[in-house]
Amino acid sequence: MSDVFIQATETDPAVRAASEVRGVHRRLLDRLAALAGHGHGRDHAVLAGFLDGELRRHLAAVDEALYAPASGAPETRLLVRALRAAVAEIEALAAAVPTAADPVPAARDLAAVLAVHFTVEETVLLPALAALPGADAGLLTADLRTLLDGGRLERPDEIDVREIPRGQRHPRIFARFARLAPGESFTLVNNHDPKHLRREFELAHPSAFTWDYVESGPELCRVRIGRPAT
pLDDT digits (tens, 9 = 90+) for 52-82: 999 999 999 999 999 988 887 888 989 999 9
The confidence score (pLDDT) of residue 41 equals: 46
Q: Are strands 185-190 and 158-160 parallel, antiparallel or unpaired?
A: parallel
Q: Each residue of 94-128: pLDDT tens digit?
A: 999 999 988 989 999 999 999 999 999 999 999 99
Q: Please give the sequence-ordered ranges of beta strands (E in DSSP) within the chain, or none if there are none.
A: 158-160, 185-190, 210-216, 221-226
For residue 191, give the 3-state DSSP assignment.
Answer: coil
**3-class SS at 87?**
helix
Q: What is the Cα 204 distance to its own chain's centre?
A: 16
104-113 long-range contacts (CB < 8 A, ≥24 apart) are: 104/36, 104/37, 104/38, 104/39, 107/32, 107/35, 107/36, 107/47, 107/51, 108/33, 108/36, 110/32, 110/51, 111/29, 111/32, 111/33, 111/36, 113/89
Name the pTM for this structure: 0.83
Of 96-110, 114-128, 164-178, 191-205, give the lowest mean pLDDT range. 164-178
> Which of 26-35, 108-117, 147-156, 198-207 bottoms out in mean pLDDT, i.e. has the lowest?
198-207
Same fold, 13-148 and 158-226: no
- Please give the Cα distance from 59 to 79 (Å, whole number): 16
CA distance 31 to 197: 42
Over residues 18-23, the mean pLDDT reads 93
CATH for the 13-148 domain, from 3.50.50.60, 3.40.50.2300, 1.20.120.520, 1.25.40.340: 1.20.120.520
The answer to whether 23 and 31 have CB atoms below 8 angstroms apart is no
pLDDT at site 171: 85
- Give the pLDDT score at 147: 96
Fold of 158-226: Translation Initiation Factor IF3 (3.30.110)
Distance from C-alpha of 139 to C-alpha of 31, rounded to nearest angstrom: 26
Could you give the CA distance from residue 108 to residue 97 in angstroms, rounded to a whole number? 10
* Contact present, 221 and 193 (Cβ < 8 Å): yes
d(Cα 73, Cα 118) in Å, to the nearest integer? 21
> Given this model, what pLDDT does residue 5 score?
47
Domain boundaries, the chain: 13-148, 158-226
Ramachandran assignment for 183, one of left (phi > 0), alpha (psi -120 to 50 degrees), beta (any other): left
